[in-house]
Structure 1
Amino acid sequence: MSKLFEILQKIKAKPGMYIGRASVSDLFHFLVGFKTALRELGVEATEEEINFYREFQPWVQKKYHVSTSNSWAKIIMLHCTNEQEGFSVFYKLLDEFQNREKNLGDDSFGESKTKQGAKMQQ
């Protein structure tokens, strides 16, 4: 597992210990600092981490149907009543984001099965 996702699981379990409170904004700032620290230390990001840093923001924008230069944390907060709710929503979105490729794979498999079935019926 990547360092990013290891730390995210630790933060999820004990946010007060790592970022002070369960806050999506504080989590966002922590992750920016974490990325910077790893880069400064010369720690190479895994493919999974690179994917998160490049794709999570546009994925959240698409999910919420917004085009903005605001961070994913601010987009999440537009739909939450407080920081703690935003924190919980982040982890739900993260799970969905991480499973999106599996879901796409299932869909494409289903499509190819359907296409194969149609060919067999012809």
Structure 2
Amino acid sequence: MTELEIIEKVRAQPGIYIGHKSLTAFVSFVGGYVEGLKVSGVDVIQDINSAMQEFIPTWYNIPNQYHWSRILLLVCVTEEAAFEEYFRLLDLYLKGVDPITRGV
């Protein structure tokens, strides 16, 4: 299963994978999953969360010295809101929306 596939499974059923909609739990889970793939010798073809490290700071016009998850936790009120915002931005990234112009 690819990184994107596990991310989509968490989106569909967060309670099964991470207990509830929490960005912090999501980041830890996916990070552990990807590390497990690498340790097992599986090539991670599409590193989504590395791509989001460029996309999210650019979207919010914040220096990317901060991890994308920290940025979302700063701009969103709750863990759940940050979780939802991640998936909204992921969809935009996957559609090829330019974070500088915001698709305009």
In the superposition, the TM-score normalised over structure 2's length comes to 0.84
Q: Return closer, same or farther for 1:41/1:32 CA change in 2, 3 Å cut-off.
A: same
Measured in 1, the distance between the counterparts of 2:8 and 2:34 equals 16
Measured in 1, the distance between the counterparts of 2:82 and 2:52 equals 15
* Alignment partner, residue 118 of structure 1: none
Aligned partner of residue 78 in structure 1, secondary structure: helix
Higher helix residue share: 1
Q: Does 1:6 find its partner at 2:5?
A: yes
| Gap runs ≥5 in structure 1 | 105-122
In the superposition, the TM-score normalised over structure 1's length comes to 0.73
* Alignment partner, residue 93 of structure 2: 97
* Alignment partner, residue 81 of structure 2: 85
* Alignment partner, residue 120 of structure 1: none
Q: Does 1:65 find its partner at 2:64?
A: no
Question: Based on CA coordinates, which of the two structures has the bigger radius of gyration?
Answer: 1
| Gap runs ≥5 in structure 2 | 99-104
After the TM superposition, list the runs of 4 or more consecutive aligned residues in structure 1 that deviate by more than 3 angstroms.
none
Measured in 2, the distance between the counterparts of 1:4 and 1:68 equals 22
Q: How many percent identity over aligned positions?
A: 27
Measured in 2, the distance between the counterparts of 1:88 and 1:53 equals 15
* Aligned residue-pair number: 98
Measured in 2, the distance between the counterparts of 1:67 and 1:36 equals 26
* Alignment partner, residue 23 of structure 1: 22
Structure 1 vs Structure 2 CA RMSD: 1.6
